[in-house]
Amino acid sequence: MTSGPLAQLRILVPESRELDLFAGMLEKKGATTRRCPLVQILDLEDSTEAEAWIGQLLAGDFRDVIWMTGDGLHRLIGIAEKIGRRDAVIAALKRSRAITRGPKPTRALRELGLPAPWLPAPEPTSQGVLQAFAAEDLTGRRLGLQLYPGDGGQPLLDGLRARGAIVFPVTPYRYASDSDTTEVLQAIKELVGGQLDMVAFTSSAQLTRLLGVARDAGLRDTLLHALIRMPIAAIGPVIETTLRELGVRTILRPERNFHLKPLVNTIAAAWQTSRLPHGGAA
């Protein structure tokens, strides 16, 4: 029998990019992981619009650039490298101010050797980015905005434009389904059948895919009922907000430092102190 602070915990891990790392961290603490990667980040099939955005950056069109994800920065640098403009893009970014939504884009900037000025959002959400500009007049301000696939960044785009900013968005990557639908459907059946105790979401795209497969199979309401009855781990406030909108109330989230290690520690602390129902949902 396994031992450790997560002994007896059966947890669904839908992470893709850092699946082995995340699952391994949980397993070292005694958890039994059910690996089912849901979403994979891929390069754009057509990078024309992203290349045009890079051209605007190089022309000095943006005083500030808002980075929503670390992957977005890395993918744009990759596109710039393909067109022979990597060094020019990095030089242009050094002349602009970076606004970061959370630690991952901040880390990506450091990895590229990009110095301050940075303006970190007070919390890693779209609302947090808007709050970062609270003391500034955005009327006529030209902003570059790196988005992620889907419509999750639309409230930020609308909020900036409502304050008079002229916003130039770019989405430099796309999502692709990782595990095939049959595998995802099997994981859903394990969730609704009480064979799993928890899910650990590290992106909203994972939740969207899970619900989409359940909907197509006629199991969306059944899955939601199961998620509402069990504790759900969420790496940050964006996923937490989405879960609460769906009616989920038992959510485990690090208070700060929204990375894998704090998330694993949060799960372990809750499980070990019996705040979670051992052996399955109540």
pLDDT tens profile 31-40 = 999 999 999 8
- The CATH 3.40.50.10090 domain(s) of the chain lie at 10-38+180-272, 48-171
pLDDT of residue 282: 36
Over residues 137-161, mean pLDDT: 93
| CATH number for domain 48-171, candidates 1.10.1660.10, 1.20.1440.130, 3.40.50.10090, 3.10.450.50 | 3.40.50.10090
The whole-number pLDDT of residue 118 equals 79
pLDDT band at residue 276 using 50, 70 and 90 as cut-offs:
very low
User: What would the pLDDT profile of 214-228 be if each residue is shown by its tens digit?
Assistant: 999 999 999 999 999
pLDDT above 70 coverage of the chain, percent: 95
Contact 12, 198 (CB under 8 A): yes
Report residue 49: phi and psi, to 5°: -65, -40
Q: Does domain 10-38+180-272 have CATH number 1.25.40.10?
A: no
Q: Note the pTM of the prediction, 2 decimals.
A: 0.78
Tokens of 82: 């393909």
Q: Reply yes or no on whether the pLDDT at 120 is more than 60.
A: yes
Q: What pLDDT, on a 0 to 100 scale, did the predictor assign at position 1?
A: 54
Q: What is the pLDDT of residues 164-181, one digit of tens each?
A: 999 999 999 999 887 889
* Cα–Cα distance, 13 to 107 (Å, whole number): 24
The percent of residues in the chain predicted with pLDDT above 90, rounded, is 72
Is residue 277 pLDDT above 90, yes or no? no
C-beta separation of 253 from 235 below 8 A: yes
